[in-house]
Chains A and B, each alone.
Chain A
Amino acid sequence: MSILHTVNKSPFEKSSMDSCLAYVKAGSAVLMYEDGIYGAIKGTAVAEKISASDGVKFYVLGPDLKARGVAEDKIVDGIEIVDYAKFVSLAAENDKVQAWV
């Protein structure tokens, strides 16, 4: 059973992303949006944890990157940048959604 995990809080202010990464299993997906997108930037302690999560697919919402001035080349390799339509598709494709609010 696949789970879509969503994170919308900054990993530097709240523990939501850490909790998510502690619970996520191979075959599941993680979508970062709103202030959660700061977790997708290269060169941080969070980026290292993402890179070490084998078998988990990571997504980040493009419009929230743009709003915050985060260029695509600053995103950790392997994280897919998605639009709102893909956000909906991910929610539909997975069996359930866990929002780490």
Chain B
Amino acid sequence: MSEQIKKFMYVNRRAPYGTIYAWESLEVVLIGAAFDQDVSLAFMDDGVYQLVKGQDTAEVEMKNFSPTYQALGDYDVTKLYVEKESLEERGLTLEDLMPLTYEDEDDDWAEKDSIKLVSRAELADIMDEQDVFFSF
């Protein structure tokens, strides 16, 4: 009996470090990756700060978990939707974010971008297509 694959979206709206939400989300994404569902991540509001490149937490004595986002591609988590308006409101552009890629097994393992820049309206449409949200 085959189980139906569901569309899971992890909705990330918090900055890293100030609260535990961002790290908790990442942990649940990695655990959930074992269940072979159709997973995507949305980064909106302060969630876009999670992907800012060059994070160095040595002086605040906290764990820098940002390198873990690079590993998501290996867990078949390859759809990271970043909302354009949230970036702009915060004085950020795509250039400020870590380059995140995955190897597409259906396309001769070509390296492709995991981050997809989408408008608020586009993200609302993508959210409409989901079966389940995990909200952080």
Residues of A with Cβ closer than 8 Å to B? 8-10, 12-13, 34-35, 38, 41-45, 47, 62-64, 66-71, 74
Q: How far is the CA of A28 from the CA of B16 in the complex (A)?
A: 29
List B residues at the A interface (Cβ < 8 Å): 14-19, 45-46, 49, 52-60, 62, 64, 66, 89-92, 96
The answer to whether B54 touches A10 (Cβ under 8 A) is no
Contacts of B56 in A (CB 8 A): 66-67, 69
Chain B neighbourhood of A69, CB < 8 A: 52-56, 66, 96
B66 touches A13 (CB 8 A): no
In the complex the two chains form, is B59's CB within 8 Å of A66's CB? yes
In the bound complex, do residue B57 and residue A67 qualify as a contact, i.e. CB atoms below 8 Å apart?
yes
> Shortest CB–CB separation between residue B11 and chain A, in angstroms?
14
B46 neighbours in A (Cβ, 8 Å): 10, 12-13, 35, 38
